[in-house]
């Protein structure tokens, strides 16, 4: 079944086929001798469906029910999908068994087509597996043996000479089973993903920088965007790129809007999430991966919910994380459900909740961020997240981070923010880490 979970649901044969069959089913139901009563049913079904869809999109955007505004294309997919569903429903009373069968199929196909269309509008979950929160990458068989000491001195862009048989691209695999990253603090993460760049896949690889990355809420570990950006940069830089662990800060069910949000904290409800990221993952990486032993080469990174966690932990643990990359971040963990988080996770203790914000970490570690790179990116068309990202960039700069803030022109809060933000941030990180020339 691995092949099924790897199927592309954005622009591959699967969604195109579903959309095509849905259109065909609708046409079959509309091709018949018209009668006044039938025409009225069709017109009313279309009008009600479109009206309901527009009303739903308007309500969601006005109330911020799922956070930021829905992508523009949802304004067409949802009303169109509702109209097709109602066309199928009113056609169930048509004469002829085959028409009833096609009508029932249209209801199901329209539901699936709408779901695929909305998912494509967001553009983040690119495979069946990522939609369902199931890692579709192959499981890793053998982890590369770490070399005992640093393999070179000086920046890698100068000292590393790739062998002729070096792979052209990196490899992404699931860290599960005997290779899973053990969580020691009661938190139950979903399987992490490991990205090994071309240079790491050679017989005598150099020790490489480490990135630990998180996705958003809802979401699940997804290496698609970071792997693409690093493959592109590695192709121009002798196969060099950081080794990446894409890990889960949410837990089971995190792919759902109603799933858990542990707000990057240690809580009775979800366990010790900070220990997993700041103790367990570093210990795993040091023991099992050929990463640099200099923590100035280590980066904590996240998108949206994960971006808030990344900045929070970068301020709490400057000895572990030499750099931070925050893509379209929440202003601070739990900002989207502050009152609920305080009540559910902290027993109503507002001070305990606020003590986890980045400002507290900066105050605790004042003067320890010199030389630490901080990159914040956010979509220029993402008004819900722009102010918080700007504020965090100011906090980082005032704390002593070498800070860059970048607005991705025209991007919202979905795939366009990742496609624009990650390559920008990685280009800066490459120069900072000596993977490319300054």
pLDDT tens figures, 34-88: 889 889 999 999 999 999 999 999 998 888 777 678 898 999 999 999 999 999 9
Tell me whether the omega of the peptide bond preceding residue 218 falls within 30 degrees of 0, making it cis. yes
List own/partner pairs for 29-33 with CB under 8 A and 24 or more apart.
29/87, 29/88, 29/91, 29/94, 29/99, 29/102, 29/103, 29/106, 30/87
Mean pLDDT of 277-304: 97
**Mean pLDDT value of segment 198-226:** 95
- pLDDT bracket for residue 3 (50, 70, 90): confident
Find the mean pLDDT for residues 399-422: 97
> Domains in the chain, please, with CATH?
2-122 (no CATH), 134-433 (3.40.50.1820)
Instruction: Say how far apart CA 204 and CA 215 lie, in whole Å.
Output: 31
Predicted TM-score of the model (pTM)? 0.89
Quick one: pLDDT band at residue 321, thresholds 50, 70, 90?
very high
pLDDT at 1: 54
Residue 9 CA to residue 219 CA, distance in Å, equals 16
pLDDT at position 133 is: 73
Distances (CA, A) of 363 to 351, 356, 369: 15, 11, 11
386-402 confidence digits (pLDDT tens): 999 999 999 999 999 99
pLDDT value of position 139:
66
> Which of these, 230, 211, 204, 212, lies nearest to 152 by C-alpha position?
204
pLDDT at position 144 is: 67
User: Where residue 6 falls among pLDDT bands split at 50, 70, 90?
Assistant: confident
Q: Is 306 left (phi over 0), alpha (psi -120 to 50) or beta?
A: alpha
- Asked whether residue 431 carries a pLDDT value surpassing 90, the answer given is yes
Confidence of residue 142 (pLDDT cuts 50, 70, 90): low
The strand pairing partners of 324, in sequence order, are 300, 374
Digit-coded pLDDT (tens) for 241-277: 999 999 999 999 988 888 999 999 999 999 999 999 9
């Amino acid at each position: 079944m691995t092949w099924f979970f790897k199927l592309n649901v954005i622009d591959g044969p699967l969604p195109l086929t579903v959309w095509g069959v849905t259109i065909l089913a609708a046409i079959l139901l509309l091709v018949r001798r018209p009668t006044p009563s039938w025409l009225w049913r069709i017109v009313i079904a279309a009008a009600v469906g479109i009206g309901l869809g527009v009303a739903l999109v308007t309500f969601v955007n006005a109330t911020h029910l799922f956070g930021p505004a829905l992508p523009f294309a949802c304004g067409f997919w949802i009303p169109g999908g509702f109209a097709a569903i109602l066309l199928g429903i009113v056609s169930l009373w048509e004469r002829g068994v085959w028409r009833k069968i096609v009508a029932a199929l249209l209801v199901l196909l329209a539901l699936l087509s709408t779901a695929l269309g909305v998912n494509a509008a967001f553009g983040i979950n690119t495979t069946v597996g990522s939609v369902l929160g199931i890692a579709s990458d192959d499981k890793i068989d053998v982890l590369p043996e770490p070399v005992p000491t640093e393999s070179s001195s000086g920046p890698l862009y100068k000292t590393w000479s790739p062998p002729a048989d070096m792979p052209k691209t990196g490899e992404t695999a699931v860290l599960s089973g005997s290779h899973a990253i053990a969580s020691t603090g009661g938190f139950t993460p979903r399987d992490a993903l490991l990205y090994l760049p071309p240079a790491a896949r050679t017989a005598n690889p150099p020790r490489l920088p480490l990135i630990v990355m998180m996705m958003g809420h809802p979401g699940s570990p997804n290496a698609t965007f970071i792997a693409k950006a690093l493959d592109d940069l590695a192709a121009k830089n002798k196969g060099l790129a950081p080794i990446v662990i894409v890990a889960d800060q949410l837990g089971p069910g995190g792919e759902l809007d109603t799933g858990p949000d542990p707000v990057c904290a240690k809580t009775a409800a979800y366990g010790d999430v900070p220990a997993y990221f700041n103790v367990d993952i570093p210990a795993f990486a040091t023991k099992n991966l050929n990463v640099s032993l200099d923590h100035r080469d280590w980066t904590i990174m996240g998108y949206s919910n994960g971006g808030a966690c990344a900045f929070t932990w970068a301020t709490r643990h400057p000895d572990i994380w030499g750099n931070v990359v925050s893509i379209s971040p929440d202003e601070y963990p739990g900002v989207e459900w502050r009152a609920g988080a305080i009540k559910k996770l902290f027993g109503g203790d507002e001070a305990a909740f606020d003590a986890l914000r980045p400002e507290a970490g900066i105050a605790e570690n004042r003067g320890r961020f010199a030389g630490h790179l901080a990159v914040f990116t956010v979509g220029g068309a993402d008004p819900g997240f722009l102010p918080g990202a700007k504020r965090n960039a100011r906090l980082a700069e005032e704390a002593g981070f070498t800070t860059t803030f970048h607005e991705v022109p025209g991007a919202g809060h979905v795939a366009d923010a990742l496609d624009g933000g990650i390559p920008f941030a990685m280009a800066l990180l490459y120069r900072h880490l000596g993977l490319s020339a300054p």
